[in-house]
Chains A and B, each alone.
Chain A
Amino acid sequence: METKSVVKISDVSKKFRGFELSVPKLEIPKGYATALVGENGAGKTTLLNLMAGIRLDYKGEIRYFDRESKLDETVQERLGYVGPGCYFLPHWTAKQVEELSGMLFDHFHRERFRELCEEMNIPTGLSKEVKNLSDGNKVKLMLAAVLARDTELLLMDEPASPLDPLMRDKLCELIRDYLEQGNGEKSVLFSTHNVADMENVTDYLLIMEHGEIVEQGFVEDLKEKYIMVKGESADAERAKDVLFSMSRSSFGFEGLCLAEHLDRLAGMDIALETPTLSQICVAVLKANTKLTFAK
């Protein structure tokens, strides 16, 4: 399947105390929704900050869109960023978000902003200061401000975390609509803790651990690369070496396996299933993590 890239990252690295972000090569596919998954502290926020252009001290190159431009005014105009927490001045109201958005960006549509505020039920009264909004409303306000602009790439840092399940569904809908409007020209990258909620909208998956991308791919390809295996306790020991990661109980074992290793499990009484993205993420992260699990 031919895909173009909307963002090309090469040799990017950034050192912190005790942590290093290192991404030698990464290309975000254009026209799709990419999910960035990882443990806390894996480097998701750092990577998103670099891509959004709000942190500029790093080594390496990040290039955007068809012309592969570096971050400049035109790129920033076409980039929409939703950050963690809330990035507006605390005493602002929705009105000021509207005013400032109009000032800071060329293509901001006030009508659309107001419609979105209504659609998402964001309190817009004059007395409703940003700092007094609930976490969910803060995210919704950032979303409204960003979606009311004409952008080609949305970068969102854990947008679903403060949202209730109903609003998460709405977020998936908004992402779908955005991609549909763009007709292949618009792309979305969001980081998440809970890929299960975003599973129905994810096209491309990035799994990050210790500042590195440890797995990536289109969802269909990953679902073919890995297979969920369930079997009997008796076979658990033999299976342990073949499976990517495994969990055991008194009823048997289950774990993820690379499809190409499936024949090593021949002769065992097993059931096979297509893994969900959640299961893939957990297995890959377990294999790479520094946390310890019961063996």
Chain B
Amino acid sequence: MVNPFKSYQAFAPFWYRLLICFLVPISLLVIGVKTFLVIPLILLPAIDVMADYWFLGGIQSKNYSGSTFLMTSARGRRVTQSAVIVDLIRRLLSILTVFAGWSVLRLLWVEKETVPAEELMLVILLCYFASTAGTVCSRFFGNIWVNVLAAQVVSNGCIFGYMLLSRIPAALAVDIGLGLLSLLVSVWAVKLATKRVKEGYYDTGI
């Protein structure tokens, strides 16, 4: 059947995987530990959104001919879907590595103190939501400057979001809310990315 990791591998060039799956999370982890929690919060979603240009950039745009090749194979939709899903999982793992890792390392090495669990969850979910939402939006355009713009928006959004939301006392509720939003945006990410390959066979799907 379709091997999901191979699908991801096929879509993502080697340098992309090396950078995004390893170098970026590890660097941000180290940076975060050495400085502040917010630094990776600014950088990680922005980097994700930027890098997506070389992964599935423009796949949701109108008059997009790039999906025709995928449509010529019976496996086209499944391969695309696997790649999108693995990418979402990768994002989550990246974020967990950076922030949960930050928490653990801080505890062990630096100040023997960290942030409360709810706040950590807030950061993680905010980061995931921003990263995914920004990516989904930028995929409507195959333009690198749109990705740049989206990266900026997402970056600022994260900071403001963090500042606003961390002041709300009902932290758990906020977390749950963000969790649901994240789930929603993930489902949309998969649906929208595979839409062309699934429905492009019909005039209405174009």
Contacts and interface: CB of A to CB of B under 8 A. Distances in A.
B72 A57 contact: no
B53 A91 contact: yes
Per DSSP, chain B at the interface is helix
Given A91-B57, A96-B11, A103-B2, A81 B72 contact: yes
B6 A53 contact: no
Contacts of B54: 91
A100 interface: yes
B20 to A, nearest CB: 15
Contacts of A73: 74
A229 to B, nearest CB: 45
Interface string A83-94: 101111111010
A52 B76 CA distance: 14
A50 B71 CA distance: 12
B11 A76 contact: no
A54 B13 contact: no
Interface in B34-72: 53-54, 56-59, 65-72
The CB with the most chain A CB atoms within 10 A, among B67, B69, B70, B202, is that of B69
B13 A96 contact: yes
Interface in A223-243: none
Per DSSP, chain A at the interface is loop
B72 A76 contact: yes
Interface in A194-228: none
A104 interface: yes
Given A76-B73, A103-B7, A54 B142 contact: no
A77 to B, nearest CB: 7
Interface in A54-86: 54-57, 72-73, 76-77, 79, 81, 83, 85-86
A57 B203 contact: yes
A95 interface: yes
B9 interface: yes
B10 A102 contact: yes
B75 A104 contact: yes
A294 interface: no
The CB with the most chain B CB atoms within 10 A, among A53, A83, A99, is that of A99
Contacts of A19: none
A14 to B, nearest CB: 9
Given A55-B201, A56-B202, A100 B57 contact: no
A144 B105 CA distance: 51
A62 to B, nearest CB: 13
B68 A83 contact: yes
B200 interface: yes
B66 A104 contact: no
The CB with the most chain A CB atoms within 10 A, among B6, B54, B72, B201, is that of B72
Contacts of A55: 201-203
Contacts of A105: 73, 75
A247 B163 CA distance: 81
Contacts of B202: 55-57
Contacts of A95: 13
B178 interface: no
A88 B72 contact: no
B65 A53 contact: no
Interface string A103-126: 111000000000000000000001
Given A89-B59, A93-B13, A100-B11, 16 more contacts: A54-B68, A56-B201, A72-B74, A73-B74, A77-B74, A85-B65, A87-B72, A89-B58, A95-B13, A96-B10, A99-B9, A103-B6, A103-B7, A104-B75, A105-B75, A126-B13
Interface of A: 52-57, 72-73, 76-77, 79, 81, 83, 85-91, 93, 95-96, 99-100, 102-105, 126, 145
16 contacts: A54-B68, A54-B200, A57-B202, A57-B203, A72-B74, A77-B74, A87-B65, A88-B69, A89-B67, A90-B57, A91-B53, A91-B54, A96-B10, A100-B70, A104-B76, A105-B75
